[in-house]
Copies of this chain bind each other. A is one copy, B any other.
Amino acid sequence: MHHSEDISSLALNRLSTYLRCLRLLQESNVKRISSQELARRFHLSAAQIRKDLAYFGEFGIRGVGYDVASLCRRLEALLGLEREHPVVVVGAGNIGRALARFPGFNSGSFRIHGIVDNDPQKVGQRINDLEVRPSSELPQLVQQSQAEIGILAVPAEAAPENYRCLVAAGIRSILNFAPVPLDPIPDIRVKTVDLLIFLEELAYFLR
């Protein structure tokens, strides 16, 4: 099998997409599918599906296709989705609260174990079964929950500081929704998602 680090973010995201598609097929009781049929149904590329999968091993049966259930399981294993990953959220504004309540972030492989905010007005607010805690309690929260992933959902100007706090608290994987490029830190993986950029991408084609 291959090394962990040498796969592109593009290919990795496609594996997630394949998993989504396969789960949809499973719900419709499809047991087996060929790369061609998978591509046709979900507007993907058959050659790319095969190449992406083959990169991690031989998952299919020549002449037949892929077994939907077993491919699902193997993709989950590949993506590290077999166990639950505890998550903490920093920032209880619009985005932070929405993500804390978002079912996708609270089922399957992820569970939000806590949410903190600097603003005393926000501390104590309830979000589903969580209570917003002060940012000063982040280190304990991370330790108690064994959180592996931090979601940074604070305004741009507060992002660098809260980023450092997350790292100091022991978080090594961060999903950043603040529209600022954070300074890289060795061994810390940051994925920045700037929602405005998506709108701007659409705006470009409206001129």
> A residues bordering B, Cβ < 8 Å?
4-5, 7, 9, 12-13, 16-17, 20-21, 24, 42-44, 78-81, 85, 87, 94-95, 97-99, 101-102, 104-105, 109-110, 148-149, 173-175, 179-181, 183-184, 189, 191, 193-207
Contact = CB atoms under 8 A, between A and B. Distances in A.
B80 A179 contact: no
Contacts of A43: 181, 183-184
A207 B134 CA distance: 30
B149 A104 contact: no
B104 A195 contact: yes
A203 B104 contact: no
A13 B105 CA distance: 26
A171 to B, nearest CB: 10
